[in-house]
Structure 1
Amino acid sequence: MTALEIAGLFVRYGGALAVDDIALSVPPGQVTALVGPNGAGKSSAVLATCGTVRSTGEVRLDGERVDGWSPGRRTRAGLALVPQGRQLFSRLTVRENLLIGADQLRLPARSVAAAEERFPILAERRSSLAGVLSGGEQQMLAVARALMGRPRALLLDELVTGLAPLIVQQLATTVRALADDGLAVLVAAPDLVGLRDVVDRGYVLVRGRVVAEVEGGHRPLQSAYERALGLAVG
């Protein structure tokens, strides 16, 4: 069974159509990429899946419809998000950010220790304010927080954009390991830089519509993306 399925998804902002009748499948044990140029609707699709922007369409998690659920209920059911911009509490410590995550997921406070251990630097910086962490450390904190509830599907929006190559490699390795452990992973990104070696399949999104669905890793997906961009600017 596909862990996450999306069908007939529409997102509108006023009179503007940001996501136009898209369908996505995110199987467990694989990394699925959603690639497209800036403004293509990737973030809108991800946020709609998690319920944080208004949308119409079906969202199913392990076969169960969740599109009528609140964002919190979707999260507790196993749909986790690392949003673009991370959305951390910059004036709270690493540990306090994780404690808030545990509280939202209704987890015991002891779950924070396991989250810190996922990235050893977080354990070292547990008393540091999130706002003084490097961009890579902040992204690790956002990923650790999202994984606290042992989700069934993980959505990553702009995971590695703007990060140092060493951090990109570490995050890519983490993503691959999570998928290999059976998690369904969706990565939304403007390109495949930094993630090409971990992607199993993907979709190309242009002007709010899926213009290609590709199996077989980053090479055919990259080719489809380049062809789609040629159409988009033509």
Structure 2
Amino acid sequence: MLNVSQLHAYYGKSHVLQGVNFHVQPGEIVSLLGRNGVGRSTTVKAVMGLVQSSGSVHFDDQDISNLKTYEIALRGLAYVPENRDIFPTLTVEQNLILGQQRGKTSQWSIEDMYDMFPRLKERRHTAAGVMSGGEQQMLTLCRSLIGDPKLIMIDEPTEGLAPRIVDQVAQYLDELRKRGVAVLLVEQKLAIALDISQRLYVMGRGSIVFEGTPNDLRTAVDVRRDWLEV
């Protein structure tokens, strides 16, 4: 579904990604792990055309390397940024409506979102900017999903959230997988990544240093020590 080969990315003269290779298959959750500053967020931004990059990015057997961000999104690839990017003065429901793609029938409705996160239904007429961080995270996840993506890339969805909300997010991601949506998850919490992923990649110094299953990573003591543990 998503195949990335020899991806290089730059911020000015800084060479951040140095030949990143990975793939995501339909209906699987793949986690991208690593310490802060190794290039995980830059990787998903490069795939979405948000940073200067070079290399091969294919989605659904089409080369999307040179497309604009909105063109990539229209092909069914969604991106949930770490900073959430909600519209603070609009209500919850207005934010969700903005996630819908005109002329496209989605398998996800606003009521589906409310069923998944009942708290959003309670706050449907509330301005998004006054909600808690956890509520805003729920909203931005749902707004991306309602556009009916084939694959959704999510950057640090559990950052700063209470354990109860983290569990809800994990259930949400597993529900996506069950309904055929692939997920590329950028995450620092090793426990959640090991629990819900089918495969994992570990990044270090701008490149992939490990690929394997959760069980592979559990037994790779040296990888966890050198590239993940603080």
TM-score normalised according to structure 2 size? 0.90
Asked whether the 8 Å contact 1:36–1:225 carries over to 2, the reply is no
Equivalence for 1:213: 211
Structure 1: gaps spanning 5 or more residues: none
SS in structure 2 of the partner of residue 186 of structure 1: strand
CA gap of 1:124–1:48, structure 2 versus 1, over 3 A, is same
Asked whether the 8 Å contact 2:98–2:143 carries over to 1, the reply is no
RMSD: 2.3
SS in structure 2 of the partner of residue 150 of structure 1: coil
Asked whether the 8 Å contact 2:93–2:124 carries over to 1, the reply is yes
Q: 1:183 corresponds to which letter in structure 2?
A: V
Equivalence for 1:83: 81
Task: Deviation per CA, 1:162-192: give whole Å up to 9, x if none.
Answer: 1111111111011112112222111011232
CA gap of 1:85–1:226, structure 2 versus 1, over 3 A, is farther
CA gap of 1:119–1:220, structure 2 versus 1, over 3 A, is same
Shift, 1:36, TM fit: 0.5
Q: Given the alignment of the two structures, is residue 142 of structure 1 paired with residue 140 of structure 2, yes or no?
A: yes
Q: 1:184 corresponds to which letter in structure 2?
A: A
Asked whether the 8 Å contact 2:202–2:227 carries over to 1, the reply is no
Q: Matched residues, percent identical?
A: 37
Equivalence for 2:149: 151
Equivalence for 1:169: 167
The 5-angstrom pairing of residues 97-116 of structure 1 reads 97-102=95-100, 105-106=101-102, 111-116=109-114
Asked whether the 8 Å contact 1:116–1:144 carries over to 2, the reply is no
Asked whether the 8 Å contact 2:88–2:127 carries over to 1, the reply is yes
Count residues in correspondence: 227
CA gap of 1:168–1:231, structure 2 versus 1, over 3 A, is closer
SS in structure 2 of the partner of residue 88 of structure 1: coil
Q: 1:31 corresponds to which letter in structure 2?
A: I
Equivalence for 1:183: 181
Task: Deviation per CA, 1:6-44: give whole Å up to 9, x if none.
Answer: 111111112211111101101112110100000000000
SS in structure 2 of the partner of residue 56 of structure 1: strand
TM-score normalised according to structure 1 size? 0.88
SS in structure 2 of the partner of residue 55 of structure 1: strand
Asked whether the 8 Å contact 1:35–1:225 carries over to 2, the reply is no
Equivalence for 2:30: 32
Structure 2: gaps spanning 5 or more residues: none
